[in-house]
Chain A
Amino acid sequence: MPCAGPIRSRRLRPVPQQAHAIDDLRFIRETMENAASFTAVPGWGGIAMGMTALAAAFAAPRPSSATPWMIVWLAASLCAFALGALGIYWKARRVGTPVLNRPGRKFLLSLFPPLSAGAVISFAIYGTGMTHLLPTVWLLLYGVGIISAGSFSVRIVPLMGLCFMLAGVAALFCPPAWGNVVMAAGFGGLHILFGTIIAWRYGG
């Protein structure tokens, strides 16, 4: 039927209205998800991870006894990851978001590649006996992981990653005997420092 006039023709087509509503809901959902990813990084979890590193630095033997030294730090890293995961879980539950929502998955997926690369490189380095390079490799790759995982997050998270990378570079210029100190300053100090800021400023 040829009905001219903008008002009439709009009434005849309800589809844009529905489409707009659907689009609106999607927009709200995406904004909320992105906003939640802003602060999904757990401050208290970071502090706990830092404490683990400090404890490991005391427990670890001299870096010259490579195998036991590596075992202590590997155990500490597993422990720290468990604490970090617990921190993410706890914070997501408190804020009321699903733990593995899109931002959460994005965070884990961005962290995974550099950490796997770190595992492979560590294995190779251990084979060559140049284990004094391990703190540098670990700090650098952990920093890379945090930067990429935190690129959707509040600015302080990628900044923390950058500090880890700088600590890795600094570790390169430290004498091998300082291995535990470097690890304590990097994984202990930086985690505790940034964990405290995140917990204080971004809700736990």
Chain B
Amino acid sequence: MPAAAAADLDRLIHERMRLGIVSGLAANESLSFSDLKKLLATTDGNLSVHARKLEDAQYIECEKYFEGRLPKTVYRLTTVGRRALEHYLDQMESLIHSMRGH
């Protein structure tokens, strides 16, 4: 991605795995850790690192609880996260339109 255009892009969701997490959650009220892992075909470690970054930015929120003895983690998209995705989509669209104009 060229530096000039990339400067304004939301670095947090520009990364593929994080974009995937946010997109997946945009289509569902909530998804569990294992659902997301399956959806994005990734590893535990990779998913938790990226989910943590989104969580720190309050793009997503997570709820941990026990189902019997098994710990469960469920993620939801926050309003901040939804706005960030919408903004990112707008940017991508305008990028495409501006290129078509030339």
Contact = CB atoms under 8 A, between A and B. Distances in A.
Interface of A: 7, 10-11, 14-18, 20-22, 24-25, 27-28, 31-36, 38-39, 95, 97, 154-155, 203
**From DSSP, what is the main secondary structure of chain B's interface residues?**
helix
Contacts of B26: 32, 35
Contacts of B1: 17, 20
20 contacts: A14-B102, A15-B99, A17-B2, A18-B96, A22-B96, A25-B92, A25-B93, A27-B19, A28-B23, A28-B85, A28-B89, A31-B24, A31-B39, A32-B27, A34-B24, A35-B23, A35-B25, A36-B27, A203-B28, A203-B30
B95 A18 contact: yes
Contacts of A20: 1
A97 B102 CA distance: 34
Contact of B95 (A21, A38, A39): A21
Contacts of B93: 21, 25
Q: Closest 10 A-B residue pairs measured CB to CB? A: A35-B24, A31-B23, A18-B99, A32-B27, A35-B27, A36-B27, A21-B95, A21-B92, A28-B23, A203-B29
B92 A24 contact: yes
A36 B28 contact: yes
B99 A38 contact: no
Interface residues of B, number: 30
A95 B85 CA distance: 18
B28 A35 contact: yes
Contact of A35 (B2, B34, B39, B92): B39
A97 B23 CA distance: 14
Contacts of A95: 27-29
B23 A32 contact: yes
A97 B27 CA distance: 8
Given A15-B99, A16-B2, 12 more contacts: A14-B99, A17-B2, A17-B5, A18-B99, A21-B93, A28-B19, A32-B27, A35-B26, A39-B28, A95-B27, A155-B34, A155-B38
Contacts of A17: 1-2, 5, 95, 99
Contacts of B29: 95, 203
Contacts of A31: 19-20, 23-24, 27, 39-40
A34 B27 CA distance: 9
Interface in B1-42: 1-5, 16, 19-20, 23-31, 34-35, 38-40
